[in-house]
Every structure is written in structure tokens, then in C-alpha cells.
Structure 1
Amino acid sequence: MSETRRSGLGQDPHALSGTRDYLLEVAIGREVHAFRAKLGLTVSDLAAAAGLSNGMLSKIENGVISPSLATLQSLSSALGVPVTALFRRFEERRDAVFVKAGQGLAIERRGTRNGHQYHLLGHSGDRSSRVVVEPYMITLTAESDVFPLFQHDGLEFLYILEGEVTYRHADKLYVMQPGDSLFFDADAPHGPEELRQLPIRFLSIISYPRDER
């Protein structure tokens, strides 16, 4: 594996992230940078310890070259970590959930019988993650005198897409229209207080610690 320079990409992080052929280099660069920062070393410090020039180390950290095995060994020795640690980000499994329009998983929650529809759009938080994230598309289509209040661990983010609703969080009321958002501690009672203009559609993203649920 030669130390080949990637031309034309410079320091553009979007170009680095979106270039399939260089995902390994980017992953290695991020690990080198993270270990260096953790140790409190400057670029000059690490470059000198690994026998590299400052420019070469900067290129490695920015993922613009493919470092040789000898260079990786020098870096791992200078950082005090095994060579395999520099490949950690590349080898980690990264999951993604794709949901076609209208195909989210329907969820039964309080209020469903009153014309409130909840569709789970994805779920993030495997056993190695300390945080679980649940994005919902919520649709309110029928007027009702009974509005459910929710209270649960974690944080919640709302973003209104359609309609108008007065939303309660604890003892405060918020009149929300398309484009409005609300971010709050979900441990306080919250939920729709008044359906002002139907239908109402909004995104609800809930996150909570895995060990508390």
C-alpha cells in the first residue's frame, strides 16, 4: 500500500466523506487524529515521534493519502496503540434504516383511537450504543375532546409539517405551525392541547439512555 496522494480534494470534508474509494484512508486519518488529541500531542509532536514530516502527518489525518504499513506501524508505536486500532472506525458496523413514504411501522399509543396515527420511521441504538433514537411521523386527523399526555425518559424534538396545534409541555402552551419546532425534556407531561387546524402532521424524534428504559 503506497503513500499515494489524492489530488483535487484538498481539505474538503464533504469530498472526503463522499468518496467511496478512500473510506479506509478517511477512517485511519480520523483515528490518528483522535488518538493524538486524546494524548494532547501537537502535529509536530506526533510527526517527530513517528519520524514523519508535519505535512505528511496532516495529509494522513485528513485522509488525502494512503499511508504505507511501515508508516502505520510508526504511528501506532508513537501513539502507544496496536496497528489494528487505527482501522477501528472502518471495521465498525454502521447501520441505516430506509423507509419508503407511507411505509413506517404503525404504533399503537394512547390517542390512536381518537384519530391520532403514529408511524415509527426507524430505530437506532444497538446493544453497543448507550442511546436509543426513535423517529416518528405523527398524524392527527380527527377532532377529539380527549388529548393524551405523555411522560417518559429522555429528550424529544418536534417539527411541524402541516396544520396547526397548541402543544403542551409541563405548564406551558405553544401554538405550532409548519416550520415550528420544539425541543424538550420528555420527563415532563406533554402532548397536544388543541387541534387548531386539521390535518396535523409532525415529526417527533425521541432519544433516551438505553440503561434507563
Structure 2
Amino acid sequence: MAVTRSQRTLLCSAIGREVRAFRRRHGMKVSDLAAATNLSAGMLWKIENGEISPSLTTLQAISRGLAVPITWLVGRVETERTAVFSTAATDTSAAGRVGQQHILLSDTEANAEGLRVESHLISLTCETDVFPAIGQEGTVFLYLLQGEVAYRHGAKVYRLTPGDSLFFDAATRHHVDELVQLPVRCLSVTTRRQDR
């Protein structure tokens, strides 16, 4: 996969920040690092400011001059990761059938890898209709908080009690097979690729 100009710029900036941070942590001036690496102070200044992309040989010289592994200079170079904060006041409730409540705890936009995550708090308080078997792209993580259920994934049925969890490929048909003990409260986290 080809690296775009903006990705290259981010990469150069991130490497430059790491070089500057380690140099300062070691109490070194640019001229001190230049002497330790046999690189010019001007080149190091350009690297630290993200103006040029250092070669592997140059990064190796800098890592030796700073006495840190080369991976420390590039280990944090990645797409910015974000966090999603959802307050209780902003959660979205989606009422199901009688005796069912699905509260959407969070629904993220796809991250840099195209992964989308959705989490629900599911409450079942009385016998309800038959649960249809579903299958979709992605994965599902279920964590039972209260009650007891038999949950079918493909041909196998799993009996979950409080504290039990089930993680599975969602493409295989799955559903609640039996409500063994009510009320049931379950945390459900689904992940899927946004592009699918």
C-alpha cells in the first residue's frame, strides 16, 4: 500500500518529536547530538521539525547517539487514537418488545482501521417472543450481569450465568435459545468493519 503525502508528513513529524524528546531528556543540545552521530546540526534540526524523512541508516545513527533502541524513535508513530466518552445523560434507549429494553451505551464512528464498535445494555424482564437467529459481519462479546440464559451460536448452546462471557464470530447464526432465569441483564459489544 502506497504511503500518501499526508501520511509521510505525519510520520516525519512524529519521528521528529520523538528525536527531540529523547535528546532533551538526555540534556543534549542539537550540536551534542550532531557530534555523537556524525550528522550535521542542520540535518538534525530538519528531522526534529519534520521537514525531512530520515533514512534507516540515519535513524540508526540517531538511536546510537541517544543510546535508545531505534524502535523507541518510531514506536509511537501511528494514526492518532481517540476515545469515545458517553455519559449516562446522553445514552440512547431503544425499546424492544414488551419486557425487553436495549440501551445503546456507545456507538463509535469507524476508527483509522475502519472498525466500528457498538455496546448495549440489554434487559429482559419477562418471557418474550421467540428470538430470531441472526448473522452479520463482525464479532460479538456478551457478558451476563444478571439472570441465566442459554445462548445458541451455530449448533452449540452455551449456558451463561452472571460473570460468564461469550465471544464469537457474528457471521454464524446466533440467538437467545432459552431464558432460564429472569430478569436478565447483559452487556453486548459488537464490532464490525465500516466498509462492510
TM interval, shorter chain, is: 0.5 to 0.7
Match for residue 110 of structure 2?
126
Aligned pairs (5 A) from 1:104-115:
104-107=91-94, 112-115=96-99
User: Match of 1:50, SS?
Assistant: helix
Deviations 1:113-162 (A, max 9, x none): 14221122112333743211111111111212522322211111111111
Distance 2:192 2:170 in 1: 9
SS in 1 for 2:137: coil
Q: Measure the CA separation in 1 of the matches of 2:184 and 2:89.
A: 16
Structure 2 unpaired stretches of 5+: 1-19, 27-53
Aligned to 2:62: 50
Which residue does 1:208 correspond to in 2?
192
Secondary structure of the equivalent of 2:64? Answer: coil
Deviation at 1:58, TM superposition (A): 3.5
| Correspondence for 1:96 among 66, 75, 83 | 83
Distance in 2 of aligned mates of 1:184 and 1:198:
24
Per the alignment, residue 5 of structure 1 pairs with 25
Q: Secondary structure at the match of 2:68?
A: helix
Cα distance, 1:189 vs. partner? 1.7
Specify every segment of 5 or more residues in structure 1 that has no aligned partner in the other structure, as ranges. Answer: 7-34, 62-74, 76-84
Query: Counterparts of 2:130 and 2:81 in 1: how far apart (Å)?
Result: 41
Q: Distance in 2 between matches of 1:51 and 1:57?
A: 5
Residue 177 of structure 1 pairs with residue 161 of structure 2: yes
d(CA) in 2 for partners of 1:87, 1:147 = 45
The alpha carbon displacement at 1:165 in A equals 0.7
Determine whether 1:155 maps to 2:148: no
Matches within 5 A, 1:54-69: 56-58=67-69, 61=72
Distance in 2 between residues matched to 1:137 and 1:88, nearest whole Å: 35
Shift of 1:175: 0.8
Counterpart for residue 19 of structure 1: none
User: In structure 2, how many angstroms separate the alpha carbons of the residues matched to 1:163 and 1:93?
Assistant: 40
Taking a change above 3 Å as real, the CA distance of residues 58 and 169 of structure 1, as seen in their structure-2 partners, is: same
Secondary structure of 1:142's counterpart equals coil
The DSSP-based 3-state class of the residue aligned with 1:143 is coil
User: Partners of 2:133 and 2:104 in 1: how far apart?
Assistant: 19
Structure 1 residues 192-207: aligned runs within 5 Å: 192-207=176-191
Q: What SS class does the counterpart of residue 67 from structure 2 fall into? A: helix
**Partner SS, residue 4 of structure 1:** helix
Secondary structure of 1:121 counterpart = strand
